[in-house]
Structures are given as C-alpha cells and as structure tokens.
C-alpha cells in the first residue's frame, strides 16, 4: 500500500540495517523475488526492467523500483505487532529484527529454495499454493496422513514455467526421503501448416532451462542439424514474447514429428532432471526432511504463532475490561468522585483516595461522603482512566456506549480463551486464515504430472 521506491534505496537500507553482504547479492535476491518465471508466488512487485526468462539481466538498481506484493504483507508479515515472534538485535545491535517471520504459508514448499552452504546444499522444488494449503488443512484434521495421502492432494511440484513431470511413480519415494530426481519435459505441440508440412512448437520449457539455457537449447538443435543427426528440421525460430514461450521448428514435408520429438527429449535439455534435496533448518539444525515433516514443522509453528497472537490479544482485552468496569463503577459514584477532586490538592492525593480509600488532607463536606470515600478500591489502571476521563463521557448515550463496549469485550475474551484452551478452535482459526489466502492468491496448476 506504499508507492514504489528505488531499488538502490531498498538495497542500501537492507545492507545498513540488517544484512552486511555485497549490494549485488542483495539486489540479485530482490530481482529473483519479483520474477514470476522463477517464483510461483512473487513476493516483490518490481517496476522497470527485472530481466527475462531468456536470461537477460535486470537493469541497474538505480533505475528500477520495487515495493512489496500484497501477499507478502498478508501471508508473511501479518501480526508482527502482536508479539508473535521474538525480535533479536541486528548485526551491529543498533536495530531489532524478527528472528523469523510469522509466515502463515510454508514458503519453503511454495516458492521452493535453492542454496549452497559450507558442506551442504538444498534444492526444494516449488509447489502450488492452493494445493499446499489444502494439504496442510487436511493434515491438521488428520495428523496420521502418510506421504502418499498428501500426494493425493498435492500431486507433485508445480513449476512456474509449466512443463510435464514424467516420473510420477518415483515421487512418493522422493517426498518420503527428501531426495531424488524429478524428470521434467517441455510441452510440445505439432501444428499443421500449409503445403502439407508440419511444425513442432515448444510452448513450455523445463524449469531448469530458464536463463542462458534457452540459447544453449537452440544451439543444440542447430548442432543436431549441422552434424546430420537429423535432416527433418528446415528452420528454427524463437517467437517467445511476454505472452510466453514459443519456439517453432519447421519440418520438411513427410518428416516423422513423433520420432523427432523423442530425439529432442534424448539429445537436448527439452527433458531434464531437477535434483531434489529437501534440506532445511529445523529446530536450529540442518536436516533433510520428508514432505510430511515439513508440513508438521509448519503446523507446529502456526500453533506457536497463534498461541502468542491470541495471548497478546487476550491480555489487551483483559486490560480493556478492567478499565471499562472501573469507568462503569465510577459513573455510579460520580458525585462523590467530583467532591474528592474538588477537595484535593494534587493528582496523587486523588489517586491514593481512589485506590486505597485514603482521605487525609482532602476536604470532604459530609461524614457520609467521608465514609464512602474511605471504601473506594479502584485498581491503579482504573484510577488513571477515571482521572483521564472527559466530562462528556457522563452523557447518557456515552454511558450506554460504554456498556455495549464492555459486552463486546467480554465476548472477545470468551472467544480468545476458547481458542487458547481448545485445539479444535485454534485449528479452525488457522484453517480459516489459510482459506482466505487460498481464495485470494491461489492460481491453477501449471505443471502436469504424468
């Protein structure tokens, strides 16, 4: 909900406040988070040239601008003000930063992850947001689900570039062990053209081909023609645009298209493998996790965040209740309170009278009022609220509004206590939140699993 800011400013703030790395690596991360061909759920809304699927780099950070996507705000940063995660000092202890973001979605599965650390690496494929949310909801209702049951709901990876996963039988084993190889192919169509000829059109490419590998793929086809491995291809054109990939191979008359497609799968990167190694930091230790374990960890985290959120909300409402009850009680003895105020020399004196019934040094006209004043026992918080109360609050309608607010507060307290003390109520709240995210941001699946 903010205007776009220059990426150079964002990178500078990041480096100075949170992350003392090189500016180019920070900008690179920002760029990748905005590219919809690399991330199924982009987290950054980029404005300007942020590179292309064919490997063109983004413009320099002084030219481009960015801001957060709405989904980042709602699914990764919501409730940060409700003490849901611990804040830790940054690298030079001049700022505080959240130790971990209160993510409502398992970003690790949805956008995948790849990275290399000392002595270990990780490679997690991206998945479909809607399917992942459905799998989590199902797991929360039945924690005994197996990996096979989960794969009924989320059948496998969903790459932003589409394509076809061809080793469906091996997926269960890959997701159980957290490692293996997924075979992906590009999507190929055969079109008839005039003169009885055919052309092969590639409309989706394997995820591993994005970037410079598209150029390499075209060169590989050129090499097949030059080395006479095939004589069926007459012309190659790359007609890809912002609408999507379209690589056209024109065939000579009478060519066997099926045979040629199989050759392309075998000899080029039109069929490729995506190495899966689901290594993640779980409970502060690196561990290779199965699909079910990632979901388990995510659900445990959701319960932890929800517990902290509703504890924080409950405390706030309990404070409200205390103040409201004090004001309601004060309205009943307002004449006495005005008498005490007029007979006192300082705020402290009035406060002591309201909290502990001390009337020494206060000029109170009648013995009855003196007796009533000595019985006053408001809490510190209530006394402060009474002293800050404005006179217009004594109008009949205002008192009525106060009573209604009090009713509302009692309802909220009952609801928050129910959520905190009841597993099913908390699970319902978490599932409802997930459904909202799914309804707003889920997209149809792009990758076929065959």
Q: Which residues are catalytic?
A: 63
Q: Tell me how far CA of residue 445 lies from CA of 40, 127, 163, 252, in angstroms.
A: 10, 9, 11, 35
Alpha-carbon dihedral sign for residues 76, 77, 79, 80 = positive
Q: Which residue has the tokens 């989960």?
A: 150
Question: How far apart are the C-alpha atoms of 434 and 295, rounded to whole Å?
Answer: 14
Cα 194 from chain centroid (whole Å): 50
Residue (of 18, 14, 26) closest to 89 by Cα position = 18
| Segment 225-229 long-range contacts (CB within 8 Å, at least 24 positions apart) | 229/263, 229/267
Residue (of 32, 110, 155, 129) closest to 440 by Cα position = 129
Residue (of 427, 156, 142) closest to 291 by Cα position = 156
Question: How far apart are the C-alpha atoms of 430 and 141, rounded to whole Å?
Answer: 12
How many residues can be counted in the chain? 450
Q: Tell me how far CA of residue 194 lies from CA of 191, 250, 253, 407, in angstroms.
A: 10, 12, 10, 77
Question: How far apart are the C-alpha atoms of 324 and 348, rounded to whole Å?
Answer: 22
Question: How far apart are the C-alpha atoms of 345 and 350, rounded to whole Å?
Answer: 8
Which tokens is 294 given?
Answer: 């990632």
């Amino acid at each position: 909900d903010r205007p776009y800011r220059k990426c150079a400013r964002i990178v500078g703030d990041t480096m100075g406040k949170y992350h003392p790395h090189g500016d180019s690596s920070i900008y690179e991360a920002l760029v990748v988070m905005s590219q919809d061909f690399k991330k199924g759920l982009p987290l950054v809304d980029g404005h300007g040239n942020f590179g292309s699927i064919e490997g063109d780099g983004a413009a320099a950070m002084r030219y481009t601008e960015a801001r957060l996507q709405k989904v980042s705000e709602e699914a990764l940063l919501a409730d940060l003000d409700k003490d849901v995660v611990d804040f830790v000092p940054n690298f030079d202890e001049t700022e505080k930063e959240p130790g971990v973001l209160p993510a409502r979605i398992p970003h690790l599965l949805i956008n995948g992850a790849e990275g290399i650390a000392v002595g270990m690496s990780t490679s997690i494929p991206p998945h479909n947001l809607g399917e992942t949310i459905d799998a989590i909801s199902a797991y929360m209702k039945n924690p005994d689900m197996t990996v096979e049951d989960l794969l009924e709901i989320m059948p496998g990876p969903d790459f932003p570039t589409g394509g076809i996963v061809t080793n469906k039988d091996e997926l269960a084993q890959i997701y159980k062990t957290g490692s293996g190889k997924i075979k992906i192919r590009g999507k190929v169509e055969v079109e008839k053209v005039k003169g009885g000829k055919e052309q092969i059109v590639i409309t989706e490419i394997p995820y591993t081909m994005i970037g410079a590998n598209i150029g390499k793929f075209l060169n590989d086809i050129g090499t097949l023609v030059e080395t006479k491995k095939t004589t069926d291809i007459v012309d190659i054109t790359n007609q890809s645009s912002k609408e999507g990939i379209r690589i056209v191979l024109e065939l000579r008359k009478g060519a066997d298209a099926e045979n040629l497609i199989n050759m392309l799968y075998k000899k080029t990167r039109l069929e490729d493998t995506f190495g899966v190694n689901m290594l993640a930091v779980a409970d502060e230790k690196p561990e290779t996790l199965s699909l079910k374990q990632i979901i388990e960890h995510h659900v445990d985290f959701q319960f932890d965040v929800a517990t902290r959120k509703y504890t924080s909300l409950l405390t706030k409402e309990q404070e409200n209740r205390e103040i409201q009850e004090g004001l309601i009680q004060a309205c009943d003895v307002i004449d006495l309170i005005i008498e005490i105020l007029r007979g006192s020399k300082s705020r402290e004196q009035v406060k002591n009278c309201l909290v502990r019934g001390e009337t020494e040094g206060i000029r109170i006209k009648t013995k009855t009022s003196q007796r009533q004043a000595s019985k006053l026992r408001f809490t510190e918080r209530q006394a402060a609220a009474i002293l800050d109360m404005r006179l217009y609050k004594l109008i009949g309608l205002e008192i009525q509004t106060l009573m209604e607010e009090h009713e509302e507060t009692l309802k909220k307290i009952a609801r928050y206590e129910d959520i905190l003390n009841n597993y099913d109520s908390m699970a319902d709240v978490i599932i409802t939140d997930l459904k909202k995210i799914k309804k707003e941001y889920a997209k149809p699946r792009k990758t076929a699993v065959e």
